[in-house]
Amino acid sequence: MGVIVLKKSQEKNGPGFRLGLKNCDISLQELLNQMNRFIEAGGLPRLWPEQIRQCAGCHLCCHEPLPVTSIDLFNICRALEIDFIEAFKYLNLEVDGKVLDITLKRSNGACIFLNKQGRCRIYNDRPFLCQTYICCHVHEAVEELRSQVVNQGMDELVRLAILRFKKEGKALPVSRGKTKSISLTDWPKNCFSGKNTYAELLLENVLSSDLKKVLLV
């Protein structure tokens, strides 16, 4: 039996799925690989049944603000063969005091990477949140895992953005707000620092001890 256990379940609001781990000594990429196989296998009751076989984009994911991590941006750079600075043309940076949120840009309300047919142009390299999203009900522990990964990954992306744009002698390309309260000292290194792929990140080093206890089976 594998380390990762994904199974259908009955959640508070209806049928969905849960995630369990035999141990946390596995990479985030291994989790993503398993999630993608689980998605491809199908069989889950979707909130929008007409999209069971092939997602066409809907307001639950491809039309919502999508936070990205440092590794998500590295993957986009590799997929499009562009550099770190150039990749920011695909991102929104919104400042609120000392908080800086980074999300994918949207065009006419839809993700900038959807083509005219409503299909993702970077599907194999899509962000972590996209790869771990299924249009159905889900146990709260799965949502907490996604949140913990993305919060740390975005923190590292903010840190790198401050450093890289400063090195280039350029201002951060902020979409909304002002950067006067943004200081590098508020964005220390974390488990994402120095990592370029999800294969380099172990769940053991990303998840809180409380969440590990919930997920371990």
Task: Supply the pTM of this predicted model.
Answer: 0.92
pLDDT per residue as tens digits for the range 10-57: 888 888 899 999 999 999 999 999 999 988 887 777 776 554 455 555
Lowest mean pLDDT among 15-19, 49-53, 99-103, 147-151: 49-53
Q: What is the span of the domain harbouring residue 109?
A: 4-215
Q: What are the tens digits of pLDDT across the range 67-85?
A: 999 999 999 999 999 999 9
Give the total number of structural domains in the chain.
Answer: 1
Three-state SS sequence of the chain: CCCEEEEEEEECCEEEEEEEECCCCCEHHHHHHHHHHHHHHCCCCCCCHHHCCCCCCCCCCCCCCCECCHHHHHHHHHHHCCCCCHHHHHEEEEEECCEEEEEECEECCEECCECCCCCECCHHHCCHHHHCCCCCEECHHHHHHHHHHHHHHHHHHHHHHHHHHHHCCCCCCCCECCHHHCCHHHCCCCCCCCCCCHHHCEHHHHCCHHHHHHHEC
